Amino acid sequence: RLKWREVYRNMIFPSLIEFNPDLILVSAGFDAHYKELINFDYISLVEEDFEWVTTQLVQIANRCCDGKLVSVLEGGYAIQGGPISAFGKSV
């Protein structure tokens, strides 16, 4: 998780800011969530990680493209948690 955030902080976000987009499109999936068996515990993110990356992207959108950010839900199939699952919290 911490390495994932470090990569976003040090590589992805600076590159996005340098690119200076007119619009940011996000494919918002939950395959990296720790409850998702599909990722075999490779990343194992928690809800706070998704919130963190979203907050960062909103700040970049506000800086670069007048807040124009579109997030499209996809992926994340562990719905056993019902309304408290990562998927349930997102809709």
Split at pLDDT 50, 70, 90, the class of 2 is confident
pLDDT of residue 46: 86
**Residue 52, Cβ neighbours under 10 Å: how many?**
17
| Over residues 65-70, mean pLDDT | 96
Contacts of range 55-64, beta carbons closer than 8 Å, 24 or more positions apart = 56/8, 56/9, 56/13, 57/24, 57/26, 60/13, 60/16, 60/17, 60/24, 61/24, 63/17, 64/16, 64/17, 64/20, 64/21, 64/24
Angle, alpha carbons 45-49-54 (nearest 5°): 135
pLDDT above 70 for 82: no
pTM for the whole structure? 0.79
Q: For residue 34, which of 45, 20, 48 has the smallest C-alpha distance?
A: 45
Is pLDDT larger for residue 36 or for residue 67? 67
| Over residues 63-67, mean pLDDT | 96
pLDDT of residue 77: 58
Give dist(CA 82, CA 23) in Å, integer: 32
